Amino acid sequence: MPTLAELRSKASKVKDAGVTRIVNTKDKMTSQPSKNINWHAEIKPKPPPPAKPEYRPPPPPSRTSSSTSSASAQSKAPAPPVPVRRAGSSASSSLARSASATSQASNVSPSPPPRPPPRSIHSAASHSVSPSPPPSTASSNHAGPPPPIRRETRPDLAPPAPRPALSAAKVHDTAADIDRIDWTNLSPEDKQAFFTWLDEFFSRYLGRPVGSQDTTSSTYGAKAAVSGYAPPPKISVASRPAMPSRPSMTEGPITSYPPHPERGSSAEDLAHYFSPTTHWPSAWYTEENLVPPPLRGNQHLTWTGSWWSDGRTKTLAVGVLFADLSMCWYTVAFPPHLTPNTPHDPNDARTVQRHAAYLPRPAPWDPERLVAAHETYGETIASFAESFEGTGRHCARGECWDLANEAIKSFEQYDWVPKPVPSISRTHGHLIYEGRAADKGRTQVGRWRGGDDRVRRGDIVEWRKARVSRGPYAWSTLGDPDHTAVIVRDMVPRTAVKDGMAVPPRELGTLEVVEQGVTSPPKRERYDLSQFEEGEVWIYRPVGMVEYLGTLLTAKCPEDVDALTV
């Protein structure tokens, strides 16, 4: 058991340890008073970065002799800034800009110039040439325009004629004129000499011959004397193959739709079937089907018909509207007791009377009427299609054709609006344009129809087995075999168009449409027709039926319609 002295000693040690810890903690946590802090101490900035080394292009190779040029080619010094020829402007103006930028290199640090492509053999430079950098305006040591061209230093040119001595009064003026060379009005000889120098420079720089093929025979002779090669032989014009003639776009079909008739229109073909001289092999008119054999199974038409009987004669009357918008009316009258099983001669005019009249395909409209039709129907049709966009629900059955067909049918609820031409197969009104493409878009033909100068909002586009590229590894297939969409934005062709003009699809621009499919709700898409590679395309303008065709579709030909007969 510890003694009282030992307990007192231990208690003293514990007390000393606690005091020591408190003192040490106080010393560590003590901070400098704020009044002793120098709040205006200067903070030293970071040292500046090292200066960028100044780039100085090497001097151009000397042109005083051929031996010096050869030595420069072997040393392979870095190329100086290359003057650029631009299409649509003189080469001298590009040279002036390039030289001006080079003369100011003392205050600018450009990157080394890229390796230039060889100059085009034509008079205009290729558009793939990179433009020269713009001259710096901050330079204080402007060196002025490039030095004058001195053709007498060329070894392959004849020495110049001696010039008359200038008087002392004219020396200063002449020097001033040299400093103000009119680079936009260089003579053909100056340009030829300049480009010959460029050919020599690039030949040494690229290590292969570079030269123009459209120089004169005298220049070829000079080059042959220096470099040792002769000019190419002349090509006989008689050996040139005959160029294929360009097909006329003013007439004749260029697409597969509508079906091509034997005569001027499908209605005229049908009218000839009802001619008394046409042989009928069967009494088809006694059947319940009022459509004659040539039209059965034809999906590119719509028709309406009726029949009546007075006890002695049964008469059937039918009106047909074809996809080319030609119309035909026909009637057949025969005794009512005749049936498909009753033997008789359908070609006997005393027993069976037949008659037909027709209207040909309507002519294209002028600009005023086409624009008026757009103002009447276009906006409503485009808005109808856009009302389904983004809703996730289909229009009607969900077929692509339904979107255009239902938009046109929607005018039935507006009794003050003239009835438009209905959708018949792939026809939706006045044909504005038809075209086709093949061979990955390398072959494109098309024809403009009507007087309007553009495709307008509310027009309807039809595709057939079409392929439109969407990039290097993407494309859209439109039509299996056919596809319909509503155009929702105007499209102005890149060239001025007129009725009957040959216009390839690539000249039209980009179509913006609202379209749908059975597996795809209505959505907005864009198709660049310059990327149209395969298939066919048609564009229609919805128009009034009576105004465009002359009448509505009825079973009997109206008396006020001036129909044709055969």
Phi, psi of 526 (to 5 degrees): -130, 135
User: Which tokens in the block code for residue 98?
Assistant: 């390039």
* Tokens matching residue 1: 């058991």
Q: What is the pLDDT of residues 343-394, one digit of tens each?
A: 999 999 999 999 999 999 999 999 999 999 999 999 999 999 999 999 999 9
CA angle 128, 131, 132 (to 5 degrees): 145
pLDDT reading at 107 higher than 90: no
* Whole-angstrom distance, CA of residue 541 vs CA of residue 457: 9
At residue 131, the pLDDT reads: 42
Give residue 3's pLDDT: 76
Residue 72: DSSP 8-state: H
- Looking at residue 388, its amino acid is F
Distances (CA, A) of 136 to 81, 82, 101, 236: 15, 17, 6, 51
DSSP assigned state of 133:
P
Average pLDDT over residues 12-30: 64
Q: CA of 239: how far to CAs of 233, 234, 235, 236, in Å?
A: 14, 11, 8, 6
* Length of the chain as a residue count: 566
Element counts in the chain: helices (H) and strands (E): 11, 11
| Cβ neighbours, 10 Å, residue 205 | 20
What is the Cα–Cα distance from 474 to 471, expressed in whole angstroms?
5
DSSP state letters, 74-118: HHTPPPPPPP---TTS-HHHHHHHHHHHHHTTTT--PPPPPPPPP
What value does the mean pLDDT of the chain take?
A: 77
What 3-state class would DSSP assign to 340?
coil
pLDDT tens digits, residue range 453-508?
999 999 999 999 999 999 888 999 999 899 999 999 999 999 999 999 999 999 99
Q: Using the 8-state DSSP alphabet, how is residue 293 labeled?
A: G
CA distances from 539 to 165, 207, 232, 265, 556 (A): 75, 55, 51, 20, 31
* Token pair recorded at residue 2: 């510890």
Q: Which helix (H) or strand (E) holds 474?
A: strand 474-487
Q: Give the number of other Cβ atoms within 10 Å of residue 177's Cβ.
A: 12
Beta pairing class for 510-517 and 430-438: unpaired
pLDDT for 200 equals 85
Q: What DSSP element (H or E) covers 528?
A: strand 520-528
| pLDDT confidence tier of residue 204, bands split at 50, 70 and 90 | confident
**Spatial CB neighbours of 306, under 8 Å, sequence gap ≥ 6:** 316, 317, 555
Using the structure block, give the residue that is written with the tokens 């499919």: 517
Dist CA 404 CA 522 (whole Å): 12
The predicted structure's pLDDT at residue 210? 74
- For residue 245, the model assigns a pLDDT of 45
Cα atoms in the 13 Å half-sphere on the side-chain side of 117: 11
Q: What is the DSSP string of 416-464?
A: TSPPBPPPBTTB-SEEEEEEEEETTTTEEEEEE-SS-SSB-TT-EEEEE
Please report where in the chains the tokens 């008026």 appear, as a residue. 372
> Does residue 11 carry a pLDDT above 60?
yes
